Each structure stands twice: as structure tokens, then as C-alpha cells.
Amino acid sequence: MLVEVRELSKHYGGVAAVEGVSIAFSGGTVVALAGDNGAGKSTLVKMICGAVMPTSGDIRIDGKVVHLKSAADARAQGIEMVYQDLALCPDLTAAENMYLGREPLLWRIGRLGVIDRKSLTRGAEEHFAQLSSSPPAREPVRKLSGGQRQVVAISRAAFWARRLVIFDEPTAALGVVQRARTLELIRQVADQGLAVVVISHSVEDIFKVADRITVMRQGRVVADAPTAELTDARVRSLMGGSI
């Protein structure tokens, strides 16, 4: 298992946002986290991404307990997240967004350096091609379509991740064609050997992309099974509380 959580809990006073969750995420596998608002999905992934500290339990990477105190800690461990709002800088090019904060340099003296823009653009174009995508690397993100922006965000995460990529509602507000393309890209990320987690309210999309479905309700895992062993109706009933 690349990344694993064991008995992970997060309490806010007397309220348990997440309670005793244990899940393992393996390379090449897409795990869907399903659940209604307030089920604990977002809090769980925030702990994995270092944005929230657990009250108890462990996060393990390659079998070793790690303490992720910030998003930088998680990124250093090879964990990346694609946010629902994509977290792109509209005035920077697609290539610049790919390398944001991690730009290749021609030289550095202390905190000063000169960005190697040729390497930056070439690297972005090569990775876009690996994901069978071709957004214009030199174009500002604000000029790209919604689907192209999605490609940039997904490519950036896949480029830097070494273990796990988390997608937060990746198909929200997308049209039919863009939604299908996004699901294809998520599958390609897993095919690179990375573990993938998808948070989604769309049960239809979950069944199209996930190898395994984990259903959460009121902070707990109420089902965790291969997708082939579940049905749309079963997942919806678990999410709603009818077990």
C-alpha cells in the first residue's frame, strides 16, 4: 500500500468529524469516497493532505507512520490534490502553472534565480502529451476553456505526485463531453502507478472511474468494497442511511 490511514479521527470539541477511519490506497487503483455533505470526506482528505491535524490515529506511507503538519509536508511525501476550483493562476501560462513554486532555474544565488523558461515549457508540453492532452503551454490560463484548465490542474498533480493524487469533485459543473474526458484523465493518472482518490457526489461518475468505493456517513466508513460488488442503488442507500 502506498498510503494508508489507520483508526484516523478528528474531533472538534464534542463533535466527531471523522471517527476511526481505516483505508488503504494502492498504486494503480482509483478509490471513490462517497457520502453526503457532512459525511467526513473533506476532513479525511484534509488530514491526508496535511491541512488538518488528526486527533488520533495514524497516516502511513510505505508502511511507516508520518506526521503531516502542512500541505508542504504532504507534497514532500508525494501527495498532491486537485481542488474543485483547480487552484490555477489565471494570468500565468499553462506551463507556468504546471511548475508554480517549483520552477527549473538556470542559476540561483541565495533566494534569487533566473527561471529556465525553455525547460519549463518543454517539460509541460511533454507531460500534457503523456496524458493525451494538448492545452497550449504558452497560453495564459484565463484564455483556456474549462476543460483545458482541468487538464492543466490534473497534469500538474500527476507530474509532481509520487504516491497519491486526490481529486475533489473533479466533474462538478462540467458538461457531458468535458466530464467524460476528465474521468479518462483520472484513469490515466492511476495507470501511471499512482494511487488515486476521487471525492464525488455523482454516483454515476463514481461507477465509471472507481475500482473501489468507500462510503462514509457521519464521519465513519459504512462500506468499503470493489465497485463490481456494489450497485448504484446500494451506494445511494448507504449514503442516505438505509443499510
Is pLDDT at 131 greater than 90 in this prediction?
no
Q: Is residue 190 part of a domain?
A: yes
pLDDT-based confidence at residue 243 (cuts at 50, 70, 90): low
* Whether residue 176 is found in the same domain as residue 241: yes
Give the domain CATH number at 2: 3.40.50.300
* Whether residue 63 is found in the same domain as residue 166: yes
Please count the structural domains in the chain: 2
pLDDT-based confidence at residue 1 (cuts at 50, 70, 90): low
CB 199 within 8 A of CB 166: yes
Is pLDDT at 104 greater than 70 in this prediction?
yes
* Whether residue 16 is found in the same domain as residue 41: yes
Q: Is residue 5 part of a domain?
A: yes
Residue 168: the pLDDT is 92
pLDDT-based confidence at residue 92 (cuts at 50, 70, 90): very high
The mean pLDDT of 73-87, rounded to a whole number, is 92
Residue 173: the pLDDT is 73
Alpha helices in the chain (DSSP H): 41-48, 71-76, 94-98, 117-130, 146-160, 176-191, 203-209, 232-240
Angle, in degrees to the nearest 10, between helices 176-191 and 146-160: 10
* Whether residue 67 is found in the same domain as residue 121: no
Which domain range does residue 176 map to? 1-78+161-243
* Whether residue 169 is found in the same domain as residue 67: yes
More confident residue, 57 or 136: 57
**CA pair distance 227, 24, nearest whole angstrom:** 15
Q: Is residue 83 part of a domain?
A: no
Q: Is residue 52 part of a domain?
A: yes
Residue 128: the pLDDT is 85
More confident residue, 172 or 29: 29
More confident residue, 85 or 55: 55
* Whether residue 73 is found in the same domain as residue 193: yes
Mean pLDDT of the chain: 91
* Whether residue 156 is found in the same domain as residue 173: no
Single out the residue in 160, 187, 202 at which a domain terminates: 160
Is pLDDT at 132 greater than 80 in this prediction?
no
Of 3-7, 108-112, 178-182, minimum mean pLDDT range: 108-112
pLDDT digits (tens, 9 = 90+) for 2-48: 899 999 999 999 899 999 999 999 999 999 999 998 999 999 999 99
